[in-house]
Structure 1
Amino acid sequence: MPTATKTLIDSYYAAFNAGQSQAMLDVLTTDVVHDINQGAREIGREKFARFLDHMNIAYRERLTDIVVMTSADGSRAAAEFVVHGEYLRTDPGLPAAHGQRYVLPAGAFFEIRDGLIARVSNYYNLEDWLKQVGAT
Structure 2
Amino acid sequence: MSNATRQLIEQYYAAFNAADWDAFMALLTEDVVHDVNEGAREGGREAFGQFMERMNRSYREHISNITVMVNEDGSRAAAEYIVEGTYLQTDEGLPEARGQQYRLPGGAFFDIRDGKVARVTNYYNLQEWIRQVEG
Describe the SS at the equivalent of 2:92. coil
Describe the SS at the equivalent of 1:15. helix
**What aligned pairs does 1:1-136 form with structure 2 within 5 A after superposition?**
1-134=1-134
Describe the SS at the equivalent of 2:134. coil
TM, length-normalised to structure 2:
0.99
Structure 2 unaligned regions, length at least 5: none
Deviations 1:70-118 (A, max 9, x none): 0000000000000000000000100000000000100000000011100
Deviations 1:10-31 (A, max 9, x none): 0000000001111111010000
1:27 and 1:74 map into 2 onto residues whose CA distance is 15
**In angstroms, what is the RMSD of aligned CA positions?**
0.7
**How big is the shift at 1:61?**
0.2
2:23 and 2:53 map into 1 onto residues whose CA distance is 13
TM, length-normalised to structure 1:
0.98
1:109 and 1:128 map into 2 onto residues whose CA distance is 20
Structure 1 unaligned regions, length at least 5: none
Structure 1 stretches of at least 4 aligned residues deviating more than 6 Å after TM superposition? none
